[in-house]
Amino acid sequence: MAALVEELKSWAQESRQRLAALPLVPHLEHIGRVLQIGDGVAMVGGLPQARLDELLIFEGGVRGLAVDLGDDAIGCILLGDTAGIAAGSVVRGTGEVARVQVGQMLLGRIVDALGTPLDGKGTIEGAQLAPVEQAAPVIVDRALVTKPLATGLLVVDAMIPLGRGQRELIIGDRETGKTAIAVDTIINQKSSDVICVYAAIGQKASSVARVINAVRQYGAPERCIFVIGEADAPPGLQWLTPYSAFSMAEYFMMRRRDVLVILDDLTKHAACYRQVSLLLRRPPGREAYPGDIFYIHSRLLERAAKLGPELGGGSLTALPIAETQAGNISAYIPTNLISITDGQIYLDPRLFYEDQKPAVDIAKSVSRVGGKTQAPVLKALSESLRLKYAQFLELEVFTRFGTMVDERTRKVIEHGRRIRAVLGQRQFAPQSLGEQVALLCAVADGALDILPLDRIDALRAGLAPWLAEHCPEIRALDDEAEPLPDAVRARLKESLIALAQSVGE
């Protein structure tokens, strides 16, 4: 008993000494209370010093974002589970804006909009914190978009070329292959130095799992970051997901790296923002969207840029995805995004159901950067491809009525069908620049005219090993390659004719 008393006296003395060593300084803490809560938003009173976009801490550690500053109450978007929070609960102001983890440690990881790991691999150690909202690079800090971003899809790289630092919208109806194009683009970066960030906004867990599994199987997941805001996540996390993805990507851009960001998709992001805005009693506008919905997306996509050499020359390329209803690209959100971006890849449901995949409608798709980013060797071969394909589509319409056609028209139609067959491509099978050049040469030089349409897939499957054996200089082409000399092209034509004959036998 005496020993226990002595031990308690010693502990009490040590405690007094530790307390005496603590500095007695005033600590200011802003405390308010919840006035109303529900559906992922809360009204808070008693925080007159709160700032716009300030991070607030609710009971249980749940964080919220102050988005509406009223005279009597603050409107907050909650970034976590609201269980345990009720009217009267204590809310503390932090004086800080929302921040997310960024850095090399995030590569290969699956996180939410706040950087919390979702892949079960433990905490992310050593990551830095960066504000979720950051200003876009100003005009004087930007450079021209001149370097290509290869997607591995011939129909895109040949006729709708993308550049590093561009914003290209992928738009189309539901289940027409929008995400497939984005995933193939990520997979194709396996052979490049581009870092990829995939942001899933309001997507089903099964859809997100398919994307992640595809990248792990066919791509380079160690150079990818997956930022997930699933359909069952709080609305605040879904709304914050694309901004967090851009902050993670900007970390690498400012360190002279090239980054690709996929936003899948901004239509659901707009719907989520509409839901939150209506709950916060903001006045609705067209289609019940708040008046600042254009600004919400424009300030996000303006962060995609090609930086000038003074800032290292890094780039951030954005491929936002938007969903249309019954092919209506004149709806409110699609027209907003079309006007913000540098072009669009439009996917036609009719082409998809006709088994033309990727179902890209060449007439409605455009890249406003265009051939300035194309490899010279590919640009020389694709200059007249779009016109020839458009002429074929127009002539094909007349042949469906059983109209008699002359020999010249028949040859144009047969040639156009081979162009269409070459532009078709299986998913998860991106093509290298050398393969694309060889296919375009095969079409232009008539090497495919001797081959039945149903054998073109077989030719495409055997093209890569054939080039490696017979034309290694074509297989080794890069983005700086100049148009093929006549002698090289003649030798390539002979080799392609020999391949077509072997496949057609």
* Arithmetic mean of pLDDT, 365-385: 89
- Report whether pLDDT(27) > 90: no
Q: Within a domain: residue 172? A: yes
Please report the pLDDT score of residue 435 as a whole number.
Answer: 93
* pLDDT on residue 321: 97
Final residue before a domain boundary, out of 82, 97, 112: 97
Instruction: Place 318 in a pLDDT band, splitting at 50, 70 and 90.
Output: very high
CA atoms of 71 and 73, how far apart (whole Å): 6
Type and span of the H or E element at 157: helix 154-159
Tell me what pLDDT residue 402 has.
62
Higher-confidence residue: 123 or 181?
181
Active-site hit among 256, 281, 350, 368 = 368
The predicted model gives 156-178 an average pLDDT of 94
Same domain assignment for residues 93 and 106: no
The answer to whether residue 400 scores a pLDDT higher than 90 is no
User: Two tokens at 338?
Assistant: 């079309």
User: Do 118 and 86 share a structural domain?
Assistant: no
Convert the pLDDT of each residue in 207-232 to its tens digit: 999 999 999 999 999 999 999 999 88
Do 72 and 167 fall into the same domain?
Answer: no
Closest residue by Cα to residue 43 from 11, 62, 25, 67: 67
Residue 254 has pLDDT above 90, yes or no: yes
| CATH code for the domain of 390 | 1.20.150.20
C-alpha distance across the termini of the chain, in Å: 100
Question: For residue 4, is it within any domain?
Answer: no
* CA–CA distance, 379 with 157 (Å, rounded to integer): 9
Is-cis flag, bond preceding 358, omega within 30? yes
Instruction: Tell me the residue type at 380.
Output: A
Check residue 325 and give its pLDDT: 93
Name 330's Cβ contacts closer than 8 Å, sequence gap at least 6. Answer: none
On the question of pLDDT at 462 being above 70, the answer is yes
pLDDT, tens digit, for every residue of 261-281? 999 989 999 999 999 999 998
Grouping H, G, I as helix, E, B as strand and the rest as coil, residue 343 is strand
CA distances 172 to 229, 318, 363, Å, are: 22, 17, 14
Mean pLDDT of all residues belonging to the chain: 90
Q: Which two tokens stand for residue 483?
A: 């148009």
Residues 458 and 356 in one domain: no
Confidence bin at 312 (pLDDT 50/70/90): very high
Chain centre distance of CA 497: 39
Q: Is residue 286 domain-shared with residue 403, that is, in the same domain? A: no
Q: Are residues 322 and 461 in the same domain?
A: no
Q: What percent of the chain has pLDDT over 90?
A: 60
Domain range for residue 291? 101-373
Mean pLDDT of 464-468: 90
pLDDT reading at 1 higher than 70? no
- The CB-side HSE value for 191 (13 A sphere, CA atoms) comes to 16
CA–CA dist 64, 97 (Å, integer): 10
Q: Are residues 63 and 208 in the same domain?
A: no
Domain limit, last residue, from 50, 74, 97: 97
Q: Read off the pLDDT of residues 434-445 as tens digits, 9 standing for 90 and up.
A: 999 999 999 988
Give the tens place of pLDDT for each residue, 95-143.
888 899 999 999 999 999 988 999 988 889 888 999 999 999 999 999 9
Q: According to the model, what pLDDT value does residue 270 have?
A: 96
- Final residue in a domain of this structure, among 373, 405, 421: 373
- Residues 369, 387 within the same domain: no
Structural domain count, the chain: 3
For position 200, which CATH number holds? 3.40.50.300
> Amino acid identity of 484?
L
Q: How far is CA 447 from CA 158, 442, 491, in A?
A: 19, 5, 12
Residue 15 counted as domain residue: no
Known catalytic residue at 368: yes
For residues 219 and 214, what is the distance between their CA atoms, to the nearest angstrom?
A: 7
Residues 82 and 108 in one domain: no
Residue 256 included in any domain: yes
Mean pLDDT along residues 368-383? 88
- Is there a domain that residue 18 lies in? no
Residue 52 lies in a domain: yes
> What CATH number should be reported for the domain holding residue 55?
2.40.30.20
Do 38 and 144 reside in the same domain of the chain? no
- Token readout for 90 is 């204590």
| Residue 162, pLDDT above cutoff 90 | yes
**pLDDT for the residue 126:** 81
Please state, for a pLDDT cut of 70, what percent of the chain lies above it. Answer: 96
300 assigned to some structural domain? yes
Write down the pTM of the prediction.
0.91
Residue 502 scores a pLDDT above 90: no
> pLDDT band for position 25 (50/70/90)?
low
Cα angle 226, 253, 190 (rounded to 5 degrees) comes to 55
Same domain, 398 and 270: no
* Residues 357, 460 within the same domain: no
pLDDT at 24: 60
The confidence band for 505, taking pLDDT boundaries of 50, 70 and 90, is low
Tokens 């349409």 belong to residue: 453
> 310, exposed or middle or buried, with CB in 10 Å at 0-12, 13-18, 19+?
exposed
Position 440 scores a pLDDT of 93
Q: For 159-177, what is the mean pLDDT?
A: 94
> For the residues 443-456, what does the mean pLDDT come to?
87
**23, part of any domain:** no
